[in-house]
Structure 1
Amino acid sequence: MKVGIYGQYYQDELEIYLYELLAELADNDAEVYFEADYLSDIKRKISFEGSYKTFKEFEDLDNSFSLFFSIGGDGTMLRSILYVRDLGIPIIGINVGRLGFLATVQKDQIKQAVRSLVEGHYEVEERSLLQIETLPYNKEVGEVNFALNEMAVSRKNTTSMITVSTWLNDEYLTSYWADGLIVSTPTGSTGYSLSCGGPVITPDTNAFVLTPIAPHNLNARPLVIPDNTVIKLTVFGRSADYLLSLDSRIATLSNETEIYIKKAPFTIKMVELKEESFLKTLRKKLLWGEDKRN
């Protein structure tokens, strides 16, 4: 078994759990690769024995990896896809953050989780992504032009609304007068889109959601569309620029730039242990249907 381990930074309370993870992997003859900066951060904080191979970027990995461990919260999971991309390496998240909706393995469950992985007691879910192209080409977006959760356009350097004109498969839909617009995948439906009034969509649904951010159109509502739809956006506002976010990454685009959004040609594989499920996570993490009568 060949595994990658990534975290954005080392957290002080993680020492015992990190040792536990590495011990379990060693017991199962796993070949471990650390993200180089994360390993350096660990070594600055704690006494860390053992020699491990490292990777620095996407080009350092290949599809011979069996698993990719993301240690952190949901933000770390979203960063992990920048390394994995279209290699098809299953990602499993160990939650040492707060909510941990994507990173479902709690740090005190590491030993049990590794054993479940070794014994094959897990399933792999394929999650769809958004892919973005801009006209003219924007180098800030570059080749890392995909998002697992959502793409959003929002105002910059102004408190005024922006106008987001929207087309679906070349047919004009509407112009949103708002602080911005979110285009969300089913995975991202429990994130930013949900906070702006969007619906929760199960991960296996072949759909995207358009959710306006604080719209001034009183009749503007979230819209669920098929995920084979090509979406075109143009943005205009009092400021010359606006923001485009792809999960946790941000680029600045000029007014009238055309954004084309469609389903990415690859998926991200996410590990789900047999004892976990999307519906269980809804109830546990978002208190879905919480009622004292239940």
Structure 2
Amino acid sequence: MKVALHGLTLKIEFLEDVRTLFTALHNHNFDVFVTEQFDRQLRMHGNIGLSYWLLDGTDDMSQMDFLISIGGDGTLLDSVCQVGELETPILGLNTGRLGFLATVATDMIHEAVAHLSDNNYQIEKRTLVSLNCNRRLFNGINFGLNEFTIHKRDTSSMITVHTYIDGKYLNSYWADGLIVATPTGSTGYSLSCGGPLISPEAKNLVITPVSPHNLNVRPIIVSDESEITFEIEGRAEKFLISLDSRSTSISSDLKLMVKKENFHARLVKLPTYNFFDTLRYKLNWGFDMRN
């Protein structure tokens, strides 16, 4: 089997874990490939004696059985962009911090690789959000796993986002911004702005305002079959939009529409994984500092 490795950064304290990963993959007869970004990170640490091939574009990626994301949730979000509509299964090795998506700890490397080799895992299909616009944005990578966001630029005054669901008027949000999050993204930016938690298999999107001026405005959950369109007003000429961690500046004359993407992100989950266990652990539910 063939596996691709992708990482955006590689701190020296995780170098030994990477060596362990390479050893485990070779011991289970995986052919190891790396992306250009991760190759640069490995080369920064000099000759570390690792054997691999360099991925050369989409054709090579299409031959991969798995992609292992080495980093935190941000790296896994970027891994989704690396894979795109190929839907290559992605396993997240957590060398970051929180790890809602990158759920495999570094002390589980040998166990995780063994599960991959034995086909002892599950695939979770995660909904992606897609942006349609009358101008090419984000270099054509117009989808994201977590959320699409409209935001004011810099320290400018609030903006008004007129929002429509399937062509029907929903609300005019007078706020710092607006988030459309997938169930996966409900544990991210949307959560920090008061949005609800949604289980990954739910067929919904959540619209969450960012610092709304009207305190009676609350997040709303809509079907992921909805088409959500926006008209933006504000004193500034430019606004920010983002897909996950990728941002760009736009003007208010652009037509924006968000909907569910036609393909999915396929995340590899090991037999020990449970979403609700992860939720309790990461959010410290049930934790009493008095004890």
| Deviation, structure 1 residue 18 | 0.9
RMSD: 1.6
2:131 corresponds to:
132
32-41 vs 158-167, which deviates more?
A: 32-41
Q: What residue identity is the alignment partner of 1:215? A: P
* Alignment check: 8 A CA contact 1:91 1:271 kept: yes
1:21 corresponds to:
21
Q: What residue identity is the alignment partner of 1:84? A: V
Q: 1:167 to 1:75 in 2, by over 3 A?
A: same
- Superposed CA offset, 1:182-230 (max 9, x none): 0000000000000000000000000000000000022210000000000
1:252 corresponds to:
249
Determine the C-alpha separation between the residues in 2 that align with 1:283 and 1:260. Answer: 34
2:263 corresponds to:
266
* Alignment check: 8 A CA contact 1:15 1:46 kept: no
1:166-177 to structure 2, matched below 5 A, reads: 166-177=163-174
Q: What residue identity is the alignment partner of 1:87? A: L
* Alignment check: 8 A CA contact 2:22 2:50 kept: no
Q: 1:115 to 1:37 in 2, by over 3 A?
A: same
| Deviation, structure 1 residue 159 | 2.9
Q: Which one of the candidate residues 226, 229, 253 is aligned to 1:232?
A: 229
1:210 corresponds to:
207
Determine the C-alpha separation between the residues in 2 that align with 1:118 and 1:141. Answer: 35
Q: With the length of structure 1 as denominator, give the TM-score of the two structures.
A: 0.95
1:94-173 to structure 2, matched below 5 A, reads: 94-135=93-134, 137=135, 139-173=136-170
Determine the C-alpha separation between the residues in 1 that align with 2:22 and 2:50. Answer: 10
* Alignment check: 8 A CA contact 2:33 2:53 kept: yes
Q: What residue identity is the alignment partner of 1:37? A: Q
* Alignment check: 8 A CA contact 2:238 2:252 kept: yes
2:69 corresponds to:
70
1:84 corresponds to:
83
- Superposed CA offset, 1:117-157 (max 9, x none): 2222211100010110113x1x3334200010000000014
Determine the C-alpha separation between the residues in 1 that align with 2:59 and 2:157. Answer: 42
* Alignment check: 8 A CA contact 1:5 1:34 kept: yes
* Alignment check: 8 A CA contact 1:236 1:256 kept: no
- What percent of counterpart residues are identical? 42
Determine the C-alpha separation between the residues in 1 that align with 2:287 and 2:156. Answer: 37
* Alignment check: 8 A CA contact 1:179 1:214 kept: yes
Q: 1:226 to 1:57 in 2, by over 3 A?
A: same
Q: What residue identity is the alignment partner of 2:67? A: F
Q: What residue identity is the alignment partner of 1:98? A: R
Q: 1:59 to 1:253 in 2, by over 3 A?
A: farther
* Alignment check: 8 A CA contact 2:19 2:50 kept: no
Determine the C-alpha separation between the residues in 1 that align with 2:209 and 2:105. Answer: 33
Determine the C-alpha separation between the residues in 2 that align with 1:46 and 1:113. Answer: 27
Determine the C-alpha separation between the residues in 2 that align with 1:241 and 1:57. Answer: 34
Determine the C-alpha separation between the residues in 1 that align with 2:268 and 2:28. Answer: 18
Q: With the length of structure 2 as denominator, give the TM-score of the two structures.
A: 0.96
Q: Secondary structure of 2:86's partner? A: coil
2:196 corresponds to:
199
* Alignment check: 8 A CA contact 2:195 2:208 kept: yes
Q: May I ask how many residue pairs the two structures share in their alignment? A: 291
Q: Secondary structure of 2:157's partner? A: coil
* Alignment check: 8 A CA contact 2:92 2:102 kept: yes
| Deviation, structure 1 residue 265 | 0.3
2:34 corresponds to:
34
Q: Secondary structure of 1:133's partner? A: strand
Unaligned runs of 5+ residues in structure 1 are none
Q: 1:79 to 1:58 in 2, by over 3 A?
A: farther
Determine the C-alpha separation between the residues in 2 that align with 1:142 and 1:133. Answer: 13
- Superposed CA offset, 1:207-262 (max 9, x none): 00000000002221000000000000111111101000100100111013221001
